[in-house]
Structure 1
């Protein structure tokens, strides 16, 4: 097996950013992943005492498919988030400033619009040691590209692997072999991951990346053809280290 692709998602629900490598911290989260979230009306999130919140409290693809039509880039050094649509920049803001956050909030509130926007859209930043993941176990997510190919065959249409919004995309594995990974460890580059559980899927996978069109029911395809709604796994970073696209992946 090998690491075929690598992505981070700085803002929950917004577009992925491809990476060549990443330094994984032991017992931490994937770097700069789900570091921000867009609160859709008051969620009760308290940064002084952060607790996992249901994803429905935020703007997200399961309910707000139009978000997939936006291309976003986060400049970590400058703190600037840039949003483009159809190749044209439509908003930008320094997330370290109130003015910059307000610019992003205004744009997304207008772009998504009522009735999907339930209240003031507010950009939240995760405090140290916390991330806005869908699952409490969402430290790192891995997707087996062979399983995506099996879903594509069953669907009878092209299925972009980015529908599954993983961090690590695994090549040269057998389809659905990840079902045997929970409870085992994976060595990738300088890091070791402890695989925790399979990842169950929701309606967000039915949204086409890049367009925001809801064009298929991947969850139903999984259920009808494979008897489950899982695709991919969550893992904890047991041993930190650098991983890079092309690295060999081995079961420990």
Structure 2
């Protein structure tokens, strides 16, 4: 099987579920459109809308600290900015994120769903020109990086672990197959091509406690960072890529790894 792109996923709101895209336009130096455009700030988090600054993920409602969040499903419409929320097949609420009333409706729905897991209602925030990516604190360039997961690495980890590992745990933008296991960890500083778009590997993805959460049960059932370290001497799964040449990628596109 030749290396190729399996799927593209956008996470419009940091910490919430992602949405599959059949294709996505990319520009040099920019990440996936609308990816991590919004975040759910904790009640105590202070954000200056006129002075955007990267903040650590501990300042937001995220799976690393709030496992129950995995049981909440979301769907984002970029044309209207409407966010729909549901859990267990039931509609919890919706609202347009470009209006105060819409954001308030979303915040109320999430606060009700999370209950005592949160100390005060969250605030849905957006900052112009800013993405709430985990690596935004590294540099402005890393804030725009696209995350890639190699399915062969996940399968190798599953085999060593002796139990299934859902790739959704890693919340990658790009899921690829047809490579050797762990090949992506050697891409830092090297060119990669997917379809007509060129990338450069910029950073291996160090995994955190968010990956411990089962995306179906919302329970912490595998200490993935610990298991990765125990078996391989590192806690990495996947790699961040910087877009060096723009174009449109689509599911099924061929992938050309570094020579």
TM-score range, shorter chain: over 0.9
**Is the counterpart of residue 158 in structure 1 residue 159 in structure 2?**
no
Q: CA deviation at 1:141?
A: 0.3
Q: CA deviation at 1:179?
A: 1.5
In the alignment, which of 77, 83, 90 is matched to residue 75 of structure 1?
77
Q: Pairwise mapping of residues 162-181 of structure 1 onto structure 2 (< 5 A)?
A: 162-181=168-187
In the alignment, which of 30, 33, 37 is matched to residue 31 of structure 1?
33
Rounded Cα–Cα distance in structure 1 between residues aligned with 2:229 and 2:257? 28
**Could you state the TM-score of these two structures normalised by the residue count of structure 2?**
0.93
Rounded Cα–Cα distance in structure 1 between residues aligned with 2:47 and 2:54? 9
- Structure 1 residue runs without a partner (length 5+): none
Q: CA deviation at 1:127?
A: 0.9
Q: CA deviation at 1:184?
A: 0.4
> Do 2:108 and 2:121's aligned partners in 1 also have CA atoms closer than 8 Å?
no
> 56-65 vs 153-162, which deviates more?
153-162
Q: CA deviation at 1:126?
A: 3.0
Rounded Cα–Cα distance in structure 2 between residues aligned with 1:16 and 1:154? 27
Give the secondary-structure state (helix, strand or coil) at the position aligned to 2:134: coil
**Is the counterpart of residue 131 in structure 1 residue 137 in structure 2?**
no
Which position in structure 2 is the counterpart of 1:235?
A: 241
Which position in structure 2 is the counterpart of 1:12?
A: 14
Q: Pairwise mapping of residues 56-95 of structure 1 onto structure 2 (< 5 A)?
A: 56-95=58-97
In the alignment, which of 130, 148, 153 is matched to residue 147 of structure 1?
153
**Is the counterpart of residue 22 in structure 1 residue 24 in structure 2?**
yes
Rounded Cα–Cα distance in structure 2 between residues aligned with 1:126 and 1:11? 12
**Could you state the TM-score of these two structures normalised by the residue count of structure 1?**
0.95
Aligned residues: 250
Rounded Cα–Cα distance in structure 2 between residues aligned with 1:77 and 1:153? 42
Rounded Cα–Cα distance in structure 2 between residues aligned with 1:215 and 1:87? 23
Q: CA deviation at 1:210?
A: 2.9
Which position in structure 1 is the counterpart of 2:139?
A: none
Tell me the C-alpha RMSD between the 2 structures: 1.2
> 153-162 vs 11-20, which deviates more?
153-162
Rounded Cα–Cα distance in structure 1 between residues aligned with 2:39 and 2:252? 30
Rounded Cα–Cα distance in structure 1 between residues aligned with 2:197 and 2:28? 8
> Do 2:67 and 2:213's aligned partners in 1 also have CA atoms closer than 8 Å?
yes
> Do 1:38 and 1:58's aligned partners in 2 also have CA atoms closer than 8 Å?
yes
Give the secondary-structure state (helix, strand or coil) at the position aligned to 1:28: coil
> Do 1:163 and 1:204's aligned partners in 2 also have CA atoms closer than 8 Å?
yes
> 227-236 vs 134-143, which deviates more?
134-143
Rounded Cα–Cα distance in structure 2 between residues aligned with 1:101 and 1:44? 17
Deviation per residue, 1:164-211 (Å, 9 max, x gap): 000001100000111210000111112111110100001110111133
Q: CA deviation at 1:24?
A: 0.8
Flag as ranges the 4+ runs of structure 1 deviating above 6 A: none
Q: CA deviation at 1:159?
A: 0.7
Rounded Cα–Cα distance in structure 1 between residues aligned with 2:190 and 2:214? 32
